[in-house]
Structure 1
Amino acid sequence: MWVRRSERSMTLYELLGKMQPRTRQDVFVFSQFWDVMEKRGFGPMLALPSFIACTPIGAIPGVPSLVGGTILLIALQILLGRRNPWLPQKVLNLECDADQLRVMVEKVKPTAVRIDRFLVPRCFFMKQPVSRSLIALCCAGCGFVMVPLELVPFMGLVPAFAVLIMAIGMTTDDGAVALVGVSISLLGFVFGAQRLAAVLA
């Protein structure tokens, strides 16, 4: 999850910049981000789909399930000990509206600058194998539950947000933030299960 590498950890502002489609680009293809970021570890790879699920794009029918499946696949690779993430070409070819994504990133960037003041490499115990496995399991669980939670309006936001927080912690090497994401995911599992049971009852 936190592979030893020469690059310094990224800031949240830098991560958002990598997510932002280029000017005059009408369609954003997932592979464009993947090609740039795949060597930076699993954090950025989990950040993009979870961020998309937290935007209005995530309200489009089918998107939560698609994002959840992508997150699940990436998280399973962490558990399997892969050094670099891999996704099938069909997932890499997925597209979304570039204008929508560009606008959302621009809106979040000012907040990201303020948040970056508090994001620092710390809580290095979170890099230990047991902690890595815990975070990967939480991400995998969030991805899995996003599929059935699509039946409950807006409930998919909870696991997506939890993954986003964990991904930010992974990307910035801030174990404290990753731990917050783990806590949100555990609470989300309980709340989501209750809501889903009520819908299916």
Structure 2
Amino acid sequence: MSSAPLHDILDDIEGLAEDEGKVDVKSLLESFQARSFGPVLVLLGILSMSPLGAVPGIPIVLAGMVILWAGQILIGRSHPWTPEFLHSIEISEDQVGKFRDKAEPATEFVDNWVKPRLKWAVGDVSEYLIAALSIALALLMIPLELVPFAVAIPAGALVLLGLALMAKDGILTLISIALGGIVIIGSIVGFL
């Protein structure tokens, strides 16, 4: 298990883009399969937190994708299935490079903190709990789309949940589950 999960993902994405001059969603998912659903949740959370998440309709699409993938954890799939029409979405090597340049400081910071620990807090039960929380957070993203950049709050919790899955970090798992619960309860109270 790598002690730098985000850096490894960036390396994989960049390597795929360099090989072909671009990378498509199908290639990304195939490279992530061995590492479970964590990278997908992290990527969807980051996209939701980015300026893309402020574009009308995009948070609903991203929320639907989170529900699709997290739901697959709940039904026991070992790797994500995705609809065929998403496979052809492409990101150019130049776009990947720009994203990496912007993301590198944050990934180094995060990778310095996450590592496999507290194994008792990481397992099937925590994976199912993370999946259920991810679905609840995705459902929150739909009404929060109406408030500019409010989607970033549940999206940030999604990133932490995905990191916990990737790094098998028990401390991060407990923190992300608690934070996800707080965001959900806070949002429900806020809506009432």
TM-score (norm 2): 0.84
- Equivalent residue for 2:114, pick from 91, 112, 119: 119
Paired residue for 1:149?
A: 144
Q: How does 1:78-93 map to 2 (within 5 A)?
A: 78-93=73-88
Structure 2's unaligned 5+ residue stretches are none
Matched, 1:17 2:11: yes
Partner deviation per Cα, 1:97-126 (whole Å, 9 max, x = no partner): 875664343222123223322211012123
Residues in 2 aligned to 1:28 and 1:61: alpha-carbon distance in whole angstroms: 25
Matched residues, percent identical?
28
CA gap 1:135/1:59 in 2 versus in 1, 3 angstroms: same
Q: How does 1:1-201 map to 2 (within 5 A)?
A: 8-9=1-2, 11-20=5-14, 22=17, 29-94=24-89, 102-195=97-190, 197=191
CA gap 1:100/1:120 in 2 versus in 1, 3 angstroms: same
Deviation at 1:32, TM superposition (A): 3.1
Partner deviation per Cα, 1:7-46 (whole Å, 9 max, x = no partner): x3452211233345836x9976422311221232111121
Residues in 2 aligned to 1:96 and 1:191: alpha-carbon distance in whole angstroms: 36
CA RMSD of aligned residues (A): 2.7
Letter paired with 1:180: I
Deviation at 1:146, TM superposition (A): 1.3
Give the secondary structure class of the aligned counterpart of 2:145: helix
* Count of matched residue pairs: 190
Letter paired with 2:11: G
Higher helix share: 2
Structure 1's unaligned 5+ residue stretches are 1-7
Q: Choose between structure 1 and 2 for higher RCO, CA contacts under 8 A separated by at least 6 residues.
A: 2
Say if 1:38 and 1:45, in contact at 8 Å, map to a contact too: no
Say if 2:122 and 2:173, in contact at 8 Å, map to a contact too: no
Residues in 1 aligned to 2:119 and 2:148: alpha-carbon distance in whole angstroms: 37
